[in-house]
Amino acid sequence: MKKIIITLCIGLLLTFSCKNSVQDEKKEISETSQKVEFQYSAESALEYLTSDELKGRDTGSEGIDKAAIYIENAFKKFDVKPYFETYRDSFKLKEVDGYNVVGVLKSKESNDLKPLIIGAHYDHVGILEAIENDSIANGANDNASGTVAVLELAKSLVSQDLKRDVIFALFSGEEKGLAGSRHLANKMNEMEVEPYLVFNIEMLGVQMKDKDYRAYVTGYEMSNIAEVFNGFYDDEDQFLGFLPQAAQYGLFKRSDNYPFYETFSVPSHTICTFDFTNYDYYHHVNDEFEELDVDAFIKLVDDLKPGVLKLINSTETTVNLK
């Protein structure tokens, strides 16, 4: 009997010891994981957001949740604060849960200047009919490129003295009727927060050819934004120009700038380099990281930064509707 009791005790002690050992190991792994710093670069952000793991970032999907977490982690790393209680601005799209990711950099100056919104949609169309066994519409140019451009601008602006607040809005539901941007515009209207200007970014991953400007602006004729922005640069070529097809296809009303124009009647534009001739993979499974001109994209975004800062720090209302 004593031998049985001793054997049982030893068994219990070993079990308890093993259990504690496993728990300690898990705790150690968890603590080690927390110490791994979030790594960010424009190229790695593009690679991750366009990876098959995210399954095309359809609104309401697990893939877009992973994209949102990545954006939130980038904002945290840059020290961009949540605009609301958290970074997520949630809305319902029929039975689907959607959410924008919204951060803010506050001006250190006390004034009545209206905030400037820098935006892009981070959703895409998800899964399409397979072409050569590939059914994931990765949305590299549309619009991981715009999303990363917003992150790059946020990263650069953190270290600047800003004259007005800057709201960074990554929209979901753009591919489903501008649902996310319409939700945020209505919410800001209810809060009585009117933006000075909306600077929205779409598809910068391939560069324009045979043009005397770097990117075009939708609604070109509706405000003086191109004239003001181009005035910030000494180059002979314009930075922002007029693309006839943008007016022909009504692009001003087809991206996330438009709900803010509708709601507030303020200058709200999208800048873009996709001109219908320089990229074959719009809403296509081949819209992948490998198809982008990453070096040219990063240079374009870097060149945007001083102009965007001057837009923010224009203490007078220099951009006006015509």
pLDDT tens-digit readout, 101-136: 999 999 988 889 999 999 999 999 999 999 999 999
Tally Cβ neighbours within 10 Å of residue 96. 15
Q: Which residues contact 156 (CB under 8 A, 6 or more apart)?
A: 305, 309
pLDDT of 252 strictly over 90: yes
Answer yes or no: is pLDDT of 10 > 50: no
pTM for the model: 0.89
Q: Mind listing the pLDDT tens digit for each residue in 153-185?
A: 999 999 999 999 999 999 999 999 999 999 999
111 compared with 10, residue with greater pLDDT: 111
pLDDT the model gives residue 16: 45
Query: How large is the average pLDDT for residues 220-238?
Result: 93
pLDDT computed for residue 29 by the predictor? 38
d(CA 63, CA 100): 14
What percentage of the chain exceeds 90 in pLDDT?
85
3-state secondary structure of 303: helix
| pLDDT (mean) for 193-201 | 98
**Amino acid found at 222:** M
- Band (pLDDT 50/70/90 cuts) for residue 36 is low
Predicted confidence (pLDDT) at residue 142 exceeds the cutoff of 90: yes
* Separation of alpha carbons 252 and 273, rounded Å: 14
Rounded to the nearest integer, the mean pLDDT of the chain is 91
pLDDT of residue 212 exceeding 70: yes
pLDDT of amino acid 4: 47
Helices marked H in 223-292 — which ranges? 225-230, 244-248, 258-264
Indicate the DSSP class of residue 63.
H
pLDDT of 7 over the 80 cut:
no
Question: For residue 224, what pLDDT is reported?
Answer: 98
Largest CA-CA distance found in the chain, in angstroms, rounded: 98
As given in the structure block, the two tokens for residue 285 are 């499974």
Mean pLDDT to the nearest integer, 34-53: 89
What CATH topology corresponds to 37-312?
Aminopeptidase (3.40.630)
**Rounded to 5 degrees, what are φ and ψ at 148?**
-65, -35
